[in-house]
Structure 1
Amino acid sequence: MKVAIIDYGMGNLGSVRRALEQLGAEAEIVDTPAQLEDADRIILPGVGSFADGMRHLNRDGWTEALVRLTGEGKPLLGICLGMQLLASEGSEHGGHAGLGLVPGRVVHLETMDCRERIPHVGWNDIHVRHPEGNPSAMLFDGIQDGTDFYFVHSFAYQAERASDVLAQVQYGIPVTAAVGRGHVMGTQFHPEKSSRAGFRILKNFLEFEAC
């Protein structure tokens, strides 16, 4: 199993690669879109702003490659900022178009009337939703309600379709913890930093059977 981890200048790459290698995958950090062609799976990690993330993806040809390859059925997992970039648009530093792979909008937690401390940093338990008919729900196979994962974020994903929300976290208000549509998935939390449960998420992604 060959997994390409995209290096687009926004990322927490080493810990993701080490986690995948511990799970037996051949994990490679790639810095050109052409290197995605022969990968079995793609991971889009990231920390930082939506605006900067999309600027890097657009500038270096990643956007076109990701839209094409996911359109051909190649599984993709976005992590933290990488999940947010799956959305149609983000409001950080003005309005910016996203990849549009899981339609929705990324907004600041304050605009959602969140009264908790921002950024949201630390371990929180999630609620797994198991949306019927969504193949990407298997990302949470073996994960119980109330399992803790590690979060670091100030912005939140508002999916257009409730069936695209795989999990939520309660942070004063319900906040999207994971999204998925078909073979495109994303986690707001960091699975590579979330101990055994996070490794189970990555294992499930590796074992996902694309349609």
Structure 2
Amino acid sequence: MRVVIVDYGMGNVFSVARALQFCGHTTELTANDASIQSADAVILPGVGAIGAAMLELKQRGLDASLRRFAERERPLLGICLGMQALATISEEFGTHACLNLIPGQIKKIQPEHDGMKVPNIGWYAMQGSTAQGWQGTSFDGLEENAATYFVHSYQFIPDNATDAIAFYRWGNQSITAAVQRNNILGTQFHPEKSGPEGLKLLQHIF
């Protein structure tokens, strides 16, 4: 499978590429629309702030490219900040319009006490968001409670609760770990940094 990693100057692109290559996929790092549209799958990585990310995407015409690709019904994966870019709007350092591929809002996670630090960094066990677990999602067939690696201060709150397919527990809160609508998937965690479980996920969804 040929997987395009979107190049917009933000994200752990080389770590993502290495993980995909380990899984046996061909990778291409590009901002070229024709290359994106012809891909078997596309990954939007991301590290940083959403305002800067959306500005870069718009200046390079990649916001339109990603929307066009999403209509092709091929896998589109947003990782961390890339997942948050899939939402409608973000409240990170102001109000920022996002790609609106999975309607929802990006809101700051709220510590319950002084011992809970933001950004939240660490390994957390994911669980399915419904009684059916991950049945019918891109995680279908994977075991629940797999620990994956998170680094974030904001979380995705989808307008439609069924678009949240996985969560993890942070104190007494359920924090969105993954969202999916049709062919569009977002992971708040970094599969490329989540060891064997992260590689298993990438092998499973691509």
TM-score by length of 1: 0.90
Q: How does 1:1-211 map to 2 (within 5 A)?
A: 1-110=1-110, 114-115=112-113, 116-129=116-129, 137=137, 139-172=138-171, 173-206=173-206
CA displacement 1:134-176 (0-9 Å, x = unmatched):
9861x21332222100000001110111110110011121110
CA displacement 1:121-144 (0-9 Å, x = unmatched):
011111123587x9861x213322
AA aligned opposite 1:39: A
Q: Distance in 1 between matches of 2:67 and 2:136?
A: 17
User: Secondary structure in 1 aligned to 2:126?
Assistant: strand
CA displacement 1:44-100 (0-9 Å, x = unmatched):
000001111111111110011111111122220000000000000001121111100
| Unaligned ranges ≥5, structure 2 | none
Q: Distance in 1 between matches of 2:84 and 2:112?
A: 18
Instruction: Tell me if structure 1 keeps the 8 A contact 2:123–2:147.
Output: yes
AA aligned opposite 1:151: F
The alignment covers a number of residue pairs equal to: 202
CA displacement 1:17-42 (0-9 Å, x = unmatched):
01111111001111323320221000
Instruction: Tell me if structure 2 keeps the 8 A contact 1:120–1:151.
Output: yes
AA aligned opposite 1:193: K
Q: Distance in 2 between matches of 1:90 and 1:33?
A: 25
Q: Distance in 1 between matches of 2:168 and 2:152?
A: 12
Instruction: Tell me if structure 1 keeps the 8 A contact 2:31–2:60.
Output: no
User: Secondary structure in 2 aligned to 1:197?
Assistant: helix
Q: Distance in 2 between matches of 1:144 and 1:2?
A: 26
Instruction: Tell me if structure 1 keeps the 8 A contact 2:86–2:99.
Output: yes
Q: Give the RMSD, CA atoms, in angstroms.
A: 1.7
Query: Stretches of 4+ moved more than 4 A in 1?
Result: none
TM-score by length of 2: 0.92
Q: Distance in 1 between matches of 2:61 and 2:159?
A: 26
Instruction: Tell me if structure 2 keeps the 8 A contact 1:149–1:191.
Output: yes
Q: Distance in 2 between matches of 1:89 and 1:33?
A: 24
Instruction: Tell me if structure 1 keeps the 8 A contact 2:87–2:106.
Output: yes
User: Secondary structure in 2 aligned to 1:66?
Assistant: helix
